[in-house]
Structure 1
Amino acid sequence: MRIALSGSIATDHLMVFPGRFADQLVADRLDHVSLSFLADSLDIRRGGVAANIAYGLGLLGLAPVLVGAVGPDFAEYAVRLKEHGVDTDAVHVSPEHHTARFVCTTDADHNQIATFYAGAMAEARTIGLEPVVERVGGLDLVLVSPNDPQAMLRHTEEARHLRIPFAADPSQQLARLDRDQVRALVDGARWLFTNEYESVLLQERTGWTERQVLDRTGLWITTLGEAGSRILRRDAAPLPVPAVPSPSPVDPTGVGDAFRSGFLAATAWGLGPEAAARLGSALATTALECVGTQEYELDRAAILSRLAAAYGAAAAADVETFLPRPR
């Protein structure tokens, strides 16, 4: 199964504040906030939603195609992605703008305050999917994740025109999109990804009820943090999938992207949605235990052990045949 990931490619600047954001907020002064948090550490890491998901898929042995826009500072980043199995030949390099920046501060409770600078990402709207399809010999799925809004709309419409199944992951861009735009991104998606807050915001933005969303999508997967994930299907009871617990959580940034990597890989292997969500949870926990979104590695034995401990031996057996073996 050949999957294209359309979305952001960025550099993450990750800082840690040892206190709690909540302790610094004055309830009756939230309309005039002026705060500065003294961070104890700074890590500069590679990131971006599409790149993060592509990285995870590459680790799992797929050959994902990354579709996005970057600046001339992307060369070293591209080499590392290629070394991990990601096709970066469809990435557009801007001669004018820097690669997007994600600046995020995490407090002691793992709450986060972040700012995203789009930079070269605005040029993603110039990328067409048809040349990508011709170059790689066909695509089986296009995931449309947070990106320049016009790029998201273009790639969704192109997927429909080219009759390629697509998955919708509007995520952080829900706040920027209007009703018609969100409806255009969701309608007809094989899979829809949100977190718990975004699931409510998506219904508000579209004006559709949960049932109306499900009438227009094949499967709606909502991540729930420590509670795991929930799978919704039309005319079926909700399917909750518990999280894989972590004894040593470090950094929540990119955990949802790792979940999507595991979910998409498992579906590419022909596994059902519950098995896919379980693998997604195992990979998400692996990412949670590292600083940075692309710093974890695939430890086959550890993944199988996590799956067996959380869901039973049969869950590990479901993916054992497909997980890449150490080289």
Structure 2
Amino acid sequence: MRIAVTGSIAMDHLMVFPGRFSDQLLPDQLEHISLSFLVDILEVRRGGVAANIAYGLGGLGLAPRLVGSVGMDFAEYRVWLKKHGVDTGDVQVCADHQTARFMCITDRDANQIASFYAGAMAEAARIDLGPLVSRDGGVDLVLISPNDPVAMVRHTEQCRELGLPFAADPSQQLARLDGDQTRSLVDGACWLFTNEYEAALLRQRSQWTDDEILDRVGTWVTTLGADGVRIDRKGQPTLSVPAVPDVRPEDPTGGGDAFRSGFLAAISWGLPLGSAAQLGCAMAVLALQAVGPQDYEVRPALLLSTVERVYGSRAAKLLAPALREPR
């Protein structure tokens, strides 16, 4: 399966605050917040949801096609992605903007406060997905991940027009989307990805119940952090897969993106949903234990070892043939 990943491509500025955000918030002053956090650590890393997911897919040998909009400062980043198996031929370069910036502060409890500068991403709606169908054998699935909201809607509509199966991953952009946009992004998706908070926000934005959402999507995958993953399908019992236990994250940024990489890779190999969720959870651990969402190495032997330790030898045997193929 050839996967195209549309969405944000950014540079991440990751900071660590040694205290707790909650200790700095005064309940009677929440309408007049004025805070500055003195951070101990600043890391500048490659990021952006689409690029993060593509990086993980590339590491697993899938040669994903990355689709997004970047600035003239992207040259070094492009080399990095191509080195790690990502096809960047569909990335649009804008002369008038810098590549997007993600700025995030993480406290000692792994809570995060973040902001995002769109930069060149604001031009992503100009990208036409039509060439995806004809270039290099086309694609089998398009993942619509967080991007400029207009681009997300346009690319979803184009997938329908072109007959391209698509997966919806609205993620943090749900905060920017109105009801019509949210419903448009979800309706007809083969796969829907959210975390637990985003699932609640999706219900609120769409004004749809869980059953109404499941009427419109093939499979709904909800990540639950330390509680694992819940997978729902219309008329089928819920499938729950536990997370890898006792993980001490160095940096939570990119864990969900790595999960999606592992999940979609397993699906592309024709493996069952349980195996996909297990590989996703194992991939998430690699990202969580690194500082930066693309600063982990995809090591098949370590992934298999994690799957066998947490989920058993049968689970590892299902994944072993795909992970042991030369890449």
Name 2:94's counterpart in structure 1.
Answer: 94
Q: CA deviation at 1:272?
A: 1.4
| Matched residue count | 327
- Which of structure 1's runs of 4+ aligned residues deviate more than 3 A? 324-327
Q: Deviations over 1:246-289 (max 9, x none)?
A: 44321100100000000000000001111101100000011100
Q: 1:221, 1:229 within 8 Å by CA — same for their partners in 2?
A: yes
Question: Are 2:295 and 1:295 equivalent residues in the alignment?
Answer: yes
Residue correspondence of structure 1 range 208-227 to structure 2 within 5 A: 208-227=208-227
Name 1:31's counterpart in structure 2.
Answer: 31
* Structure 1 residue matching 2:243: 3-state secondary structure: coil
Q: 2:167, 2:192 within 8 Å by CA — same for their partners in 1?
A: yes
* Structure 1 residue matching 2:322: 3-state secondary structure: coil
**In the aligned structure 2, how far is the partner of 1:301 from the partner of 1:58?**
16
Name 2:278's counterpart in structure 1.
Answer: 278
Q: CA deviation at 1:135?
A: 1.3
Name 2:130's counterpart in structure 1.
Answer: 130
Letter matched to residue 53 of structure 2: I
**In the aligned structure 2, how far is the partner of 1:55 from the partner of 1:23?**
36
Residue correspondence of structure 1 range 146-161 to structure 2 within 5 A: 146-161=146-161
Letter matched to residue 272 of structure 1: P
Residue correspondence of structure 1 range 1-327 to structure 2 within 5 A: 1-324=1-324
Letter matched to residue 58 of structure 1: G
The answer for unaligned runs of 5 or more in structure 2 is none
* Structure 2 residue matching 1:11: 3-state secondary structure: strand
**In the aligned structure 1, how far is the partner of 2:243 from the partner of 2:10?**
27
Q: Deviations over 1:198-257 (max 9, x none)?
A: 000000000000000000000000001111110011112211110012443211001000
**In the aligned structure 2, how far is the partner of 1:125 from the partner of 1:302?**
39
Q: What is the CA RMSD across the aligned residues, in angstroms?
A: 1.0
* Structure 2 residue matching 1:322: 3-state secondary structure: helix
Letter matched to residue 39 of structure 2: A
Q: CA deviation at 1:324?
A: 4.9
Q: 2:203, 2:209 within 8 Å by CA — same for their partners in 1?
A: yes
**In the aligned structure 1, how far is the partner of 2:178 from the partner of 2:48?**
23
Q: CA deviation at 1:100?
A: 0.3
The answer for unaligned runs of 5 or more in structure 1 is none
Q: CA deviation at 1:29?
A: 1.1
Q: CA deviation at 1:326?
A: 7.1
Indicate the larger mover: 47-56 or 127-136.
127-136
Letter matched to residue 78 of structure 1: R
**In the aligned structure 2, how far is the partner of 1:194 from the partner of 1:141?**
18
Q: 2:255, 2:287 within 8 Å by CA — same for their partners in 1?
A: yes
Q: 1:94, 1:120 within 8 Å by CA — same for their partners in 2?
A: yes
Q: 2:247, 2:285 within 8 Å by CA — same for their partners in 1?
A: no
* Structure 1 residue matching 2:133: 3-state secondary structure: helix
Letter matched to residue 291 of structure 2: V
**In the aligned structure 1, how far is the partner of 2:317 from the partner of 2:309?**
12
**In the aligned structure 2, how far is the partner of 1:289 from the partner of 1:14?**
15
Q: TM-score, normalised by structure 1?
A: 0.98
Q: Deviations over 1:155-175 (max 9, x none)?
A: 111111111110000011111
Q: Deviations over 1:3-46 (max 9, x none)?
A: 00000000000000000101111112111111011100100000
Q: 1:300, 1:325 within 8 Å by CA — same for their partners in 2?
A: no
Letter matched to residue 232 of structure 1: D
Q: 1:246, 1:289 within 8 Å by CA — same for their partners in 2?
A: no
